[in-house]
Amino acid sequence: MTQGPPPIATTKMMKKLMADHFLGLDRAAREGSPKVAWCTSVGPAELLHAMGFDVYFPENHGAMLGATRMSTETIPAANAVGYSPDICSYLTADVGAFLKGTTPLTRAYGIESVPKPDVLVFNTNQCRDVQDWFEWYGRHFKAPVIGVRTQRGVGEVEESMVSDIAAQIEALVPTLEEISGNKFDIDRLRETVGLSKQCTVMWRQVLEYGAKTPAQMTFFDHTIHMAPAVVLRGKPEAVAYYEALLTELKERDQAGLSAVPGEKYRLYWDGMPVWGRLRMLGDLMTELNTAIVASTYCNSWIFDAFDAADPFRSMARAYLELFIVRDEAFKEKYIQRHVELYGCQGIVFHDAKTCPNNSNNRYAMPQRFSEVHGVPTLVINGDLNDLRCFSDEQAKTNLEAFVEQIAEAAAA
Ligand code: SF4
């Protein structure tokens, strides 16, 4: 086994931040104050913070179910009440866990259950599943489910689309005022959008360390360190976290540390992580002297458009410009740009069985990369949470053969 660099020390700070986040939500739900809003991962979190809600992200809980491999036990419980094994396995793992009365929060923080929502707020920019998911809980808790319905397959982002989404976000305000008991304050919204912007700028800088050779962090590290950008954006804690992480990355860079000792090859990852196999895949890539230095998934929490001076429109643009919302031509250019920026010699496409929205191999993108752009590609079959769809052996064999192909091309 190749000896890796010392662990990233700032991770300890994140563990404390995440513990405070979940314990705070648990307390708020039990005491009834502040009110709890559930939000989709790329939903209007800034508005919810500005309205005084504690904000909970069920997709983060879904990823925890996957990473702890509890999802294997919980998905069948949701299948049994009619939620197909073919739909989002965050949804099925999460609803199944609730039905079974179990959560990884118990082991991690001694918390009995996910926090009861006072309101659930979705944005369909990523998929329809999030709305169906929230509606299940809305029926269960008799809580209002409100949201934003975003266009999909967008090419150019038109001003009319931004106006539509901005109006939809603004239209949430009266309901949120009624539920929170707080009056909307535009300055408070400017502040949270400003904090999200700071968070986004620093998260981008963290990811761009991957463009250096050797890379300081890989995709597998990014999936862990992205947590504050997902659940704490709009809050000062996320900004403080990335300040500390950037300081440490700079020091590690100056000390010549490398995430993958003896890094020889560099790859791009497209698609969802396989949450229950991050360790296995990370160790395998280290053994192969290969760093997965960038990914579409971790880049998805960069929101360049945030602007505190124009909070509603800039939120609308930020949540509309996302990769997942865009058409195939945009996606191809985006990946090509990142493959070049990060010096990647190949692309691994993860075809996640239950997430067509984040599986970009299904309309001949890998073939276009190989044939038109001359970039080697590999498709791995798997899933984000449902490990019945993933074979360790098959993934290992395919990745080993792929790296060998890249090594031969590099030597030629
Ligand atoms: S984008 Fe995919 S993984 Fe995320 S909630 Fe939608 S279906 Fe699930």
Bridge partners of 319? none
For residue 212, give both structure tokens: 């250096």
CB 40 within 8 A of CB 126: yes
For 33, 176, 343, 401, the CA distances from 37, given in Å and listed in that order, are 11, 9, 41, 46
> Cα(132)–Cα(130) distance, rounded to whole angstroms?
6
| Phi, psi of 122, rounded to the nearest 5 degrees | -110, 165
For 289, 329, 381, 402, the CA distances from 397, given in Å and listed in that order, are 16, 31, 12, 9
Q: Tell me the pLDDT tens digit for each residue of 244-269.
A: 999 999 999 999 899 999 999 999 99
Q: What pLDDT score was predicted for residue 4?
A: 75
> Does the pLDDT at position 166 exceed 70?
yes
**If 0-12 CB within 10 Å is exposed, 13-18 middle and 19+ buried, where does residue 398 land?**
middle
Average confidence (pLDDT) over 3-10: 86
Q: Tell me the pLDDT tens digit for each residue of 38-51.
A: 999 999 999 999 99
Q: What is the dihedral of CA 147, 153, 159, 162, to 10 degrees?
A: 20
Q: What is the dihedral of CA 358, 157, 175, 200, to 10 degrees?
A: 70
What residue spans of 69-172 are helical by DSSP H?
71-80, 89-100, 104-109, 129-141, 159-170
Q: Are strands 346-352 and 265-270 parallel, antiparallel or unpaired?
A: parallel
> Cα(250)–Cα(131) distance, rounded to whole angstroms?
41
Report which ligand 1 atom has the smallest distance to the Cα of 90: 8
262 Cα to the center of ligand 1, angstroms: 35
Q: What pLDDT score was predicted for residue 181?
A: 98
pLDDT category, 3, cuts 50, 70, 90? low
Q: What pLDDT score was predicted for residue 2?
A: 53
Q: What is the dihedral of CA 100, 389, 353, 44, to 10 degrees?
A: 40
62 Cα to the center of ligand 1, angstroms: 10
Q: What pLDDT score was predicted for residue 412?
A: 84
> Does the pLDDT at position 241 exceed 60?
yes
| Phi, psi of 57, rounded to the nearest 5 degrees | -115, 100
357 Cα to the center of ligand 1, angstroms: 7
Q: What pLDDT score was predicted for residue 306?
A: 98
Query: Which amino acids bring their CB within 6 angstroms of ligand 1?
Result: 59, 88, 90, 126-127, 129-130, 272, 355, 357-358, 384
3-state secondary structure of 237: helix
Instruction: Supply the mean pLDDT for the chain.
Output: 97
Q: Tell me the pLDDT tens digit for each residue of 284-307.
A: 999 999 999 999 999 999 999 999
Report which ligand 1 atom has the smallest distance to the Cα of 89: 8
> Does the pLDDT at position 74 exceed 70?
yes
> Cα(132)–Cα(129) distance, rounded to whole angstroms?
5
Report which ligand 1 atom has the smallest distance to the Cα of 130: 5
3-state secondary structure of 202: helix
CB 130 within 8 A of CB 122: yes
Average confidence (pLDDT) over 6-34: 96
Q: What pLDDT score was predicted for residue 247?
A: 97
Q: Tell me the pLDDT tens digit for each residue of 320-358.
A: 999 999 999 999 999 999 999 999 999 999 999 999 999
Q: How many other CB atoms sit within 10 Å of the CB of residue 112?
A: 11
412 Cα to the center of ligand 1, angstroms: 40
> Cα(44)–Cα(320) distance, rounded to whole angstroms?
11
pLDDT category, 56, cuts 50, 70, 90? very high
> Does the pLDDT at position 20 exceed 90?
yes
11 Cα to the center of ligand 1, angstroms: 26
pLDDT category, 110, cuts 50, 70, 90? very high
